[in-house]
Every structure is written in C-alpha cells, then in structure tokens.
C-alpha cells in the first residue's frame, strides 16, 4: 500500500470515507438491539440503557467540534485512527461493564469520541476541500448515502450476531471489525499540509465567533437539533414500540430500520444532487415537514408489519438527507478552511437533540408506560424546524482584509 502526502482524489476520499462511515453509522444505528438483552442480563430498566445511549449521543456532539478542529489542523487520517480505537474500546466496555453509572459514563465517552472522529463532522472537511464547489453538495450526498448504506447493511448483521453468538460476543466481533477496516481506510485520507494564502488568515476563534454571530448558522443548529431528536428516538425505540403494540416478531423492527437505511441511500444521494440546483433551505424545510406528516400518518394508520415497512421506506427517503444540505450551506456561507469544525458545532446541536430524544423516550415510557407524548413532541418539532429553516441565507460571506477561507 503506497500512501503519499499528495492531495487524494475525490474518488479516493469518497471510497475510503464511505467505508468508514458505513461502519461508524451502521454499528451506531443498531445499538438499540442490545437494549433488551443487556437490560435483562443486568436487571436494568429501559431507562438505564436509554440514558447510556443518550450520553453517547451527547458526548458525540461535545467531542464533535474538537474532532473537527483536529481534522482541519492535523488531518483527517489521524483523527479517524483515534476514533476507531476509541469506538473499539466503547463496544468492549458495553460488553463487560455491569455497574450502571460506570456503563453510562464509559459508553458516552468512548463511543461518543469514536463517532465524533469517524462520522460526518470529522469527515466533512476533507470532502469539502477535495470536491470542487459545483460538486460539493453531491459529494456530501454520497458520503451521507454511505452512512445510510451502513444502516441497511449492518443492522441485520448485528441482529444475527446477537442471535448467533450472544450479545457480548457480538460486541467483541464488531469491535475487531471496526479497527481492522477503519484504520487501513484512514491511511487514504492523508492530506498535505495546509497552504496558507497571502494576507491575514482567519483563526479558529475568529471562525467560531463569526459563525455564532450569523443568524443562518443558528437556524441550522436549531433545525439539526430537531433532526437528532427525531431520528435517534425512532432508531432506538421503534423496535420496543412495535413489541409494545403487539408486533412481537423482532424481524419487523430489524427490517424497518434496514429499510430506513436502504431508502436513505437514494434520499441522501438525490438530496445532495438537488442541493446543487435548488435552494437548500427549501429542501431542508420540505424534509422536516415531511417527517411530521409521515409520523402522524403512521400513528393514525392501523398498525401492521406492512404499515411499518411503508413508514420506514418513507422516513428513509428523508432520514439523513439533512446532512448534505446542511453541510453544503455551511461550506457555501463560510468556506471550507474550518468546515470540519463548523460542521461539528452544528452537529453538537443535533446530538443535544439526540440525547433528549433517546433519553426522553425511556424516561416517559418508564413513567407513562407508552411513547405517546414523545411521538407528539416529535411531530411538533418537525413543524417548527420546517419554519426555522426558511429564512436561512445561503450566500457566501464577504470578509474584508482576510484571505478566502
């Protein structure tokens, strides 16, 4: 394997990052399958495991901006390698720790850091710097599709592993696969040292202050908060919700989550492609209002395996389609020099929403015995996010006295 310090081609970046995202997002989306076996083995309620996954999502968001800063400054390759090792430790931790508080904290730190270093935030910078502006939205769509393919491919694998070798051994096997696949792929994401242009350069602090002083950036953060709340609540709690409603066949939940991943391969790709032609803010608003409508119809319709599959396919088309559009707007407004960091900052809001979605689902279920309130909140937030994204200004900033970012 010959790896040089030359700028990698867009094809190389998309292939290598695609493998990394497939595994990172695929394993993460299947963690809900461990809720019942771990809870039963350790004598926990659903709230304990829900809080552990909520903490993992929150720490993913907390570490995200720092992973992005490191990727922008030291290169994506190093960050991904650190992330692969941390992700591995997190899965092993979940397999062996039985004390609730230690389990929650360790899962949050190790898996959260692993995802921050191997998922969209850290990866977005090298994609944005490699792709020409006219292909940038499409390239982000391709990377998002890779994450969706991981969900489609890995979720049935994870369920079968649990059935075949037990939930603990399934963690060990996945931990080994992550390290053995991600680290070789990371070597293809080696970037040359950043060449600074003439004139004053924007610092990390200046870039952060500029972003948080920009109204559109704050609107994107608010929308991403809703995105995180919706998708993680559904990903973690849908299998348990279906069983509560009488659909006892576990394959229904597995198939539903796999269908979400399958259909979002197409949804993410075409969202990125359309983002190069249409205003991205309108596409984002359409996605959020679409989620609210789809969830509402799902809850009103008679529940059956086929209604679940239709719901999953419809949600899948707009599942991670927010990612290429949001990252595309950020790159268009602020440039690509600090893109990983800024994407990580926006993604922090996403993960705060993820934390609340997964935790609130477990908390209210423990107290009310159902998910009705959380479903209602999910619909209301979708409508709010659709309205919030409409006034986003996608035009690039003109900076006086600074070299282009």
User: Helix or strand or coil: residue 226?
Assistant: helix
Assess contact for 207 and 341: CB atoms under 8 A: yes
Q: Given this model, what pLDDT does residue 6 score?
A: 66
pLDDT value, residue 399: 67
- Residue 158 CA: distances (Å) to CA of 6, 68, 76: 37, 29, 28
Instruction: Give the span between the Cα atoms of 35 and 240, in whole angstroms.
Output: 9
Alpha-carbon 262 to chain mean position? 16
CA dist list (Å): 289 to 89, 293, 350, 378, 386 = 38, 6, 17, 11, 5
The pLDDT of residue 269 is above 50: yes
- Sorted by sequence, the CB contacts under 8 Å of residue 213 that are 6+ apart come out as none
pLDDT band at 3 (very low <50, low <70, confident <90, very high): very low
Delineate the domains of the chain, giving CATH numbers in brackets. 10-191+204-389 (1.20.1250.20)
Token reading at 66: 């720092």
Query: Helix (H) and strand (E) counts for the chain?
Result: 17, 0
* Burial of 71 (C-beta count, 10 Å sphere; 0-12/13-18/19+): buried
Structural contact between residues 130 and 8, judged by C-beta atoms closer than 8 angstroms: yes
Residue in the block written with tokens 């209301």: 380
Q: Give the position of tokens 């979002």.
A: 264
| Apex 256 CA angle, 239 and 25, nearest 5 | 85
pTM recorded for the entire structure: 0.78
**How far is it, in rounded angstroms, from Cα 78 to Cα 69?**
12
pLDDT at 196: 47
**299-352 pLDDT tens trace:** 999 999 999 999 999 999 998 889 889 988 998 898 878 888 888 889 889 888
Res. 276 pLDDT band, cuts 50 70 90: confident
Other beta carbons less than 10 A from residue 347's beta carbon: 31
SS3 category, 387: helix
CB 254 within 8 A of CB 239: yes
Which tokens go with 138? 């499409």
Lowest mean pLDDT segment, chosen from 126-135, 205-214, 295-304, 383-392: 126-135
Chain position carrying tokens 């559009």: 325
Which of the four pLDDT bands, split at 50, 70 and 90, describes residue 4?
very low
Write the pLDDT tens digit of every residue in 140-173. Answer: 888 878 877 887 788 788 888 998 999 999 999 9
Per-residue pLDDT of 77-101, as tens digits, reads 999 999 999 999 999 999 999 999 9
What's the mean pLDDT when you consider all of the chain? 87
356 with 229: CB under 8 angstroms? yes
């Amino acid at each position: 394997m010959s790896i040089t310090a030359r700028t990698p081609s867009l094809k190389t970046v998309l292939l290598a990052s695609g493998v990394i995202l497939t595994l990172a997002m695929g394993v993460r989306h299947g963690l809900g399958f461990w809720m019942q076996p771990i809870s039963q083995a350790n004598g926990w309620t659903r709230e304990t495991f829900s809080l552990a996954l909520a903490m993992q999502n929150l720490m993913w968001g907390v570490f995200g901006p720092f992973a992005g800063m490191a990727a922008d400054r030291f290169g994506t390759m190093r960050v991904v390698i650190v992330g692969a090792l941390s992700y591995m430790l997190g899965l092993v931790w979940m397999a062996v720790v039985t004390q609730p508080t230690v389990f929650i904290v360790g899962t949050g730190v190790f898996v959260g850091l692993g995802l921050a270093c191997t998922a969209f935030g850290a990866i977005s910078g090298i994609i944005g710097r490699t792709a020409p502006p006219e292909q940038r939205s499409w390239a982000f769509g391709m990377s998002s599709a890779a994450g969706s393919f991981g969900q489609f491919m890995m979720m049935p694998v994870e369920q079968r592993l649990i059935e075949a070798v037990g939930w603990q051994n399934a963690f060990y096997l996945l931990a080994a696969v992550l390290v053995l696949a991600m680290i070789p792929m990371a070597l293809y994401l080696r970037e040359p040292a950043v060449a600074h242009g003439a004139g004053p350069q924007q610092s990390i602090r200046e870039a952060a202050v500029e972003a948080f002083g920009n109204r559109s950036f704050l609107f994107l953060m608010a929308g991403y908060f809703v995105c995180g709340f919706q998708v993680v609540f559904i990903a973690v709690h849908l299998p348990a919700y279906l069983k509560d409603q009488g659909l006892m066949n576990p394959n229904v939940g597995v198939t539903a989550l796999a269908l979400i991943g399958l259909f979002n391969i197409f949804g993410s790709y075409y969202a990125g492609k359309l983002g190069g032609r249409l205003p991205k803010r309108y596409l984002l608003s359409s996605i959020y209002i679409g989620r609210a409508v789809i969830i509402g119809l799902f809850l009103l319709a008679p529940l059956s395996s086929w209604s679940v599959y239709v719901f999953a396919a419809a949600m899948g088309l707009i599942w991670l389609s927010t990612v290429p559009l949001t990252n595309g707007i950020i790159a268009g407004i602020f440039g690509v020099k600090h893109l990983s960091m800024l994407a990580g900052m926006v993604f922090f809001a996403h993960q705060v929403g993820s934390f609340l979605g997964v935790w609130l689902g477990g908390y209210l279920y423990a107290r009310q015995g159902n998910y009705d309130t959380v479903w209602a909140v999910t619909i209301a937030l979708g409508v709010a996010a659709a309205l919030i994204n409409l006034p986003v200004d996608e035009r690039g900033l003109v900076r006086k006295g600074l070299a282009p970012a």
